[in-house]
Amino acid sequence: MEVVNAHCRKINEDDLERIMGWRMMPEITKYLNTDPVLTIEGQKKWFEKIKADEQKTLSEGRKNFYWLLEVDETPVGFVSLVDTDMISGKTHTGVYIAEKAKRSLRLIVDIQMNLYQYAFEKLGLNKVCEEVFVANKGVSRILDMCGSKREGILRSDVCKNGIYYDVEVRGVLKSEWEDIKNKMQYNYIEFDE
């Protein structure tokens, strides 16, 4: 198995301009719910919300976790667990790798598997959810490989530039995690607390 030297570190203010640029790249926004036009002022407000959210405990309601993905100490993408809710025991994943030169199937599988591991083993959640545009066949195949199950389709759920897109709802349960983990080889990736 190819070893990927990856690490997920907390976002800092110096990352905001880079993340803003990535988030507005057409190849990134193609399969995201929005095509934002971001400003550095808006990014700073978002970062202040992140810092405030980090101070919350999981028992205080929904919480978001955001990391910058680094490969060989180079920032390459964005990783998140959002709407983490301890009452319902679930969270939603988000991943994009903006730097083409660092994209690989191995890296994407490693990130997804480590997000599951973090959610189930670190946070003690019951379910990890994903929502993927039906048209995004590549990500659906990767999630299939990682053990995520298709749960349904939200028809015409997202409208972008006057076009409606169907969204596939997916998930992995804690009760499925041990079996998935034992069948799938993946590299451990450290997530900063």
Q: Is the pLDDT of residue 184 over 70?
A: yes
- pLDDT tens for each residue of 112-131: 999 999 999 999 999 999 99
Q: Is the pLDDT of residue 2 over 80?
A: no
Q: Is the pLDDT of residue 3 over 70?
A: no
- pLDDT tens for each residue of 16-71: 999 999 999 999 999 888 888 999 999 999 999 988 888 877 667 788 999 999 99
Domains defined for the chain, CATH in brackets: 6-191 (3.40.630.30)
| Close Cβ partners of 91 (under 8 Å, ≥ 6 residues apart) | 81, 82, 83, 84, 85, 119, 123, 125, 127, 128, 129
CA 175 to the chain's CA centroid: 21
Pairwise pLDDT comparison (120 vs 4), residue with the higher score:
120
Q: Is the pLDDT of residue 8 over 80?
A: yes
- The average confidence (pLDDT) of the chain is 94
Rounded-to-integer distance, Cα 171 and Cα 92, Å: 9
Q: What local confidence, expressed as pLDDT, does residue 14 receive?
A: 96
Residue that the structure tokens 């997920």 belong to:
8
Q: Which of 2-6, 45-49, 170-174 has the lowest mean pLDDT?
A: 2-6
